[in-house]
Structure 1
Amino acid sequence: MKNLSVWIVIGMLLGATIGGFLHPVLSESTAQIVVSQYLSILTDLFLRAIKMIIAPLVFCGLVSGVANLQDTHAIGRMGLRALAWFLCASFISLLIGILACNLLDLGGEMASHLPVAAESSGINVAPFNLKSFITNIIPQSVISAMASNDILQIVLFALLFGIATAAVGGPLKVRVLELTDAVFDIMLKLTGYIMWLAPLGVGAALCSIVTTRGLGVLATYGKLLGGYYFALFLLALLLIGAGRVILGPRVFRLLRLIRDPLLIGFSTSSSEATFPKTIEQLQRFGVSRRVSGFVLPLGYSFNLDGAMLYQAFAVIFIAQAFHIDMTFTQQVGVLLVMLLTSKGMAGVPRASLVVVAASLPSLGLPASGLLLLLGIDPFFDMGRTAINVLGNSIATASVAKWEGDRGAETEPAPSPVGRPAGAHIEPLSNA
């Protein structure tokens, strides 16, 4: 795996180059779409291979960690610490998105590109419903939850199953833990095999995008994309700075370890695709299974920092494009609305676009404004997915530090029953 990052970068460069060549050659949009669809087969295969191991990883990792806990209060403590981090990170992400768009005034130059106000964006949305969100946390069928990779539902079932396993105790607990530990380690080994498909998957993903949209779209929206990535860069610095305060110099070791998941997330625009490799690298960093198995899945539902920044950024941009002045109070309202609605969209396809589309009417903005961003959304999505991975990795490692987690910076190995893998040698508190 040592050269996987190099191969991923090579795949990205080749994909962009081939796509840039095919776009002008296939002058008809129909031909571009057809070729793009065939190119995306490789990406789809890679993503499906990744998704098929997410449910077993989340379930077995969390059951093993929870059942091994000696302190039952640790679950609630970890949950509160994780949610406190998620809330603060979400607030800061939204604030940076709003401030960056205000300072750069990126929407003011879009008058010639404005769509008709009544034009549909094509994004199907439903109003946020707190009742539905809360009731949907509990799965009607755990099989259905695993089949659809509903992370939040899987986490809840695994949490309850782990608590019940710990309560049963005795030989039955030992047998369950032997099975879950074995399945978890096998899934990590399988992750290693699947990751070698990553260069093909990410290369095909970029090639597909550039074939249909061309590199020229980057020049047309260059200033907008530049401002957006500048905001993402500021958020990344803040997240790394927070990690430096909590983890000390070891945060840079963490950044090196999550290099592959960052590249995969950036090129495929899929947070799910990064999950198995991220949990493996966190284990190498020294985060035990009980923490990574609990905090990381929650983060994929509640701590999408890059997506939060994008949502605030997009709303302010659309207001500027239509020359709608938003007061300070209204912009604070944007922040609060996004803080709520984004949590209810966990697991929704193209969730960031859905959140923006759902929020525009309630904020008095034309829903058609989303059309300004749809054409280049794949390039937005690449950046926000990478930041999601960064934010969740630092959040998980930070909660582990607060929990006094101990772990060794080595390749994960099968763990004996009753103790999480890597639960020895080097404390996370070492700076």
Structure 2
Amino acid sequence: MSESPAVPPPVKRDRTQYLYLAVIVAVLLGIGTGFLWPDFAKELKPLGTGFVALIKMMISPIIFCTIVLGVGSVRQAARVGRVGGLALGYFVVMSAVALAIGLVVGNILHPGSGLHLTDATRGIGHTAAADAHVGAVDFLLGIIPTTLVSALTEGEVLQTLLVALLVGFGLQAMGRAGEPVLRGIGHIQKLVFRVLSMIMWAAPVGAFGAMAAVIGETGTDALRALATIMIGFYITCLLFVVVVLGTVLRLVTGVNLFRLLRYLGREFLLILSTSSSESALPRLIAKMEHLGVSRPVVGITVPTGYSFNLDGTMIYLTMASLFIADSLDRPLDLGQQIGLLLFMMLASKGAAGVSGSGIAVLASGLQSHQPALVDGVGLIVGIDRFMSEARALTNFAGNAIATLLVGTWVREVDKNRVNLVLGGDLPFDERTLVDTEEDGAGDPAPARPVPAPATSAVQAAG
């Protein structure tokens, strides 16, 4: 009697595609609601704020687990220092390039002429400057958390980064005795990603509330009046990503920029709808590991880049400063421009991912170096939300590219896997965010015969 062939278990469909379709629909509905019922739309702002707060709630534990697992699995501490040193050096160079490009475009466009300052807008700048906390000493002391665990509860990225590095190095020094702790943190990471996948289903609601509120508050008047700087800023960010970052990526790694951006398409949509690059940070970590970059490189480069690799913010601060100076008929000479912007480059660290933080950094920088220009900060408040989206998108693209570059420099990228993933032969499985032995419904997760990355965390430890 012949045996019937075994029937393979059914592969569950990727339902997340419907989630991101719903996000697109929610954004369009939010725009329509903002135009048709602006007063009602303003009341929807807590929906967007609440969703971003839920995502930010998960950032610290995800960064902690990722860095501890990455650093703890590497036997030689010097390798971690080499990755961090290369990353920081690259971030400084790219920030300088972004500043230079912003200076050139801002001095060519001169978009601030013809605007009028009112008493209301004059007060906004001083309020924002008072709320900002900048300065080299405050910045350095702010990296140190109150307690070892407070960094995980207060949501400070740099504090979490410091604690995770210390714990990772401690486990590394413990050798085999630290392996049970590493396995436990690995299980905690899976739990955190499981919770994150649940939160992500609220993305359409958050996108609808955020977009409706900003359209309801802004309307079209501010857009028309400030269209020059807004369009110029978007074009500058696009050129920076495509020309500068795309060229560097191609020369160093051989990867086509547009294939990488397509691979990260869902993350860009999420950032566009929430105006916060932090909302996509956990997914960027998972996707860069899937792409073939080793866990230690991803775990160090991505969280560090979120505080130090702020290309979009650099361009924004440059163009906004020149815009305000022109609008107040107080043009800055080249020396004043460079001095002001170098200060802002330092002051902006740690401001990534927070919607509206650019206004505070801009106001505090002007307050310190050009007090007469603080009055003009209120001129761009109306369109800052739209410029915040471009800042976040540019920062996110810069961090994804930086991760590939640093991984290539330290030879911890599986290039064959990169080609498979970007070519569509090895697509990102949304279930890798919650990769457990059993599926959420209790059924075994279907296995797929895929090549393992040559630079996995285990091999990186060797």
TM-score for both structures, normalised by structure 2: 0.82
- 2:229 is the alignment partner of 1:224: yes
**Any gaps of 5 or more consecutive residues in structure 2?**
1-15, 422-427, 438-449, 457-462
User: Alignment partner of 1:109: what SS?
Assistant: coil
Secondary structure of 2:412's aligned partner: coil
The residue type paired with residue 51 of structure 1 is K
Aligned counterpart, 1:102: 107
The CA distance in 1 between the partners of 2:436 and 2:299, in whole Å, is 15
Query: Is 1:381 equivalent to 2:388 in the alignment?
Result: yes
**Match of 2:112, SS?**
helix
1:7 aligns with 2:14: no
Q: Encode CA deviations 1:333-355: one digit per residue, 9 max, x unaligned.
A: 22322222222656877321111
Counterpart-to-counterpart distance in 1, 2:216 and 2:352: 30
Q: Deviations over 1:295-338 (max 9, x none)?
A: 11111111121111111111111111111232222222223222
Matches of 2:355 and 2:234 in 1, distance apart?
A: 22
Partner residue, 2:410: 403
Q: Cα deviations across residues 281-304 of structure 1 (Å, max 9, x unaligned)?
A: 212212232121111111111112
Post-superposition shift, 1:9? 2.2
What secondary structure is seen at the aligned counterpart in 2 of 1:128? coil
1:66–1:290 contact (8 Å) kept in structure 2: yes
Tell me the distance in 1 between the aligned counterparts of 2:83 and 2:249.
17
Instruction: Give the conservation status (yes or no) of the 8 Å contact 2:27–2:211.
Output: yes
Partner of 1:187: 192
Deviations 1:348-377 (A, max 9, x none): 773211111112133333211101111221
Instruction: Give the whole-Å Cα distance in 2 for the aligned partners of 1:11 and 1:347.
Output: 22
1:115–1:130 CA distance, 2 compared to 1 (3 A): same
Q: Is 294-303 or 283-292 further displaced after alignment?
A: 283-292
Q: From the superposition, tell whether residues 90 and 79 of structure 1 become closer, same or farther in structure 2 (CA, over 3 Å).
A: same
- Measured at CA, do residues 272 and 116 of structure 1 come closer, stay the same or move farther in structure 2, by a change above 3 Å? closer
State the partner residue of 2:80.
75
Q: Confirm or deny that 1:20 pairs with 2:25.
A: no
Opposite residue 85 of structure 1, the aligned amino acid is Y
The whole-number CA distance in structure 1 between the counterparts of 2:352 and 2:205 is: 28
For residues 131 and 102 of structure 1, do their structure 2 counterparts lie closer, same or farther at Cα, with a shift above 3 Å needed?
same
Distance 1:377 1:189 in 2: 33
Distance 1:114 1:242 in 2: 44
Amino acid at match of 1:201: G
- Residue 147 of structure 1 aligns with which residue? 153
Q: CA deviation at 1:395?
A: 0.9
Paired letter, 1:380: M
> Residue 68 of structure 1: CA displacement?
0.7
Name which of 159, 177, 182 aligns with 2:182: 177
Q: Note closer, same or farther for the CA distance 1:152–1:402 as it changes in structure 2 (3 Å cut).
A: same
- Counterpart amino acid of residue 97 in structure 1: G
Summarize the Cα distance change of 1:362–1:50 in structure 2 as closer, same or farther, 3 Å threshold: closer
Give 2:30's aligned amino acid. G
Could you tell me how far apart the structure 2 residues matched to 1:43 and 1:306 are? 22
Give the aligned residue type for 1:157. V
Q: Is the 8 A contact 1:151 1:347 kept in 2?
A: no
Question: Cα gap change, 1:256/1:348 in structure 2, threshold over 3 Å: closer, same or farther?
Answer: closer
Checking the alignment, whether the CA contact within 8 Å between 1:12 and 1:203 is kept in structure 2 is yes
The answer as to whether partners of 1:116 and 1:368 remain within 8 angstroms in 2 is no
Is the 8 Å Cα contact of residues 130 and 344 (structure 1) preserved in structure 2? no
Distance (whole Å) between structure 2 residues aligned to residue 35 and residue 347 of structure 1: 24
Q: Does 1:312 align with 2:312?
A: no
Q: What residue is the counterpart of 2:13 in the other structure?
A: none
The residue type equivalent to 1:383 in the other structure is A
Structure 2 counterpart SS, 1:16: helix
Q: Quote the Cα distance in structure 1 between the aligned partners of 2:291 and 2:354.
A: 30
CA–CA distance in structure 1, aligned partners of residues 294 and 198 of structure 2: 22
Taking the aligned partners of 1:142 and 1:254, their CA distance within structure 2 comes to 37
Instruction: Give 1:107 shift.
Output: 0.9
Give, in angstroms, the shift of residue 406 of structure 1.
3.7
Q: Tell me: CA distance 1:144–1:397, structure 2 relative to 1, closer, same or farther (3 Å).
A: same
Offset from partner CA, 1:361-400 (integer Å, 9 cap, x none)? 3333321110111122111111111111111111112111
Q: Deviations over 1:33-90 (max 9, x none)?
A: x6523x1232233223212221221111111111110222111111111101110111
Distance change (3 Å), C-alpha of 1:126 and 1:211? closer
AA in 2 matched with 1:100: V
Which residue does 2:446 correspond to in 1? none
1:160 and 2:175 correspond:
no
2:214 pairs with one of 205, 209, 212: 209
- When residues 117 and 174 of structure 1 are mapped into structure 2, their CA distance, relative to the original with a 3 A threshold, is closer
Which residue of the partner structure matches residue 339 of structure 1? 345
In the alignment, residue 139 of structure 2 is paired with which amino acid?
F
Q: 1:5 to 1:362 in 2, by over 3 A?
A: same
Using the aligned pairs only, state the percent identity: 32
Cα pair distance change 1:389/1:348, threshold 3 Å: closer
Q: Aligned partners of 1:149, 1:175: CA distance in 2, in Å?
A: 27
Q: Deviations over 1:169-221 (max 9, x none)?
A: 22x32211111112223323333332232222112210111122223432232
Distance in 2 separating the partners of 1:402 and 1:423: 23
Displacement after TM superposition at 1:427 (Å): 6.7
Contact residue 287 and residue 397 of structure 1 kept, 8 A: yes
RMSD: 2.6
Q: 1:222 to 1:229 in 2, by over 3 A?
A: same
Rate the CA distance shift 1:216–1:74 in 2: closer, same or farther, 3 A. Answer: same
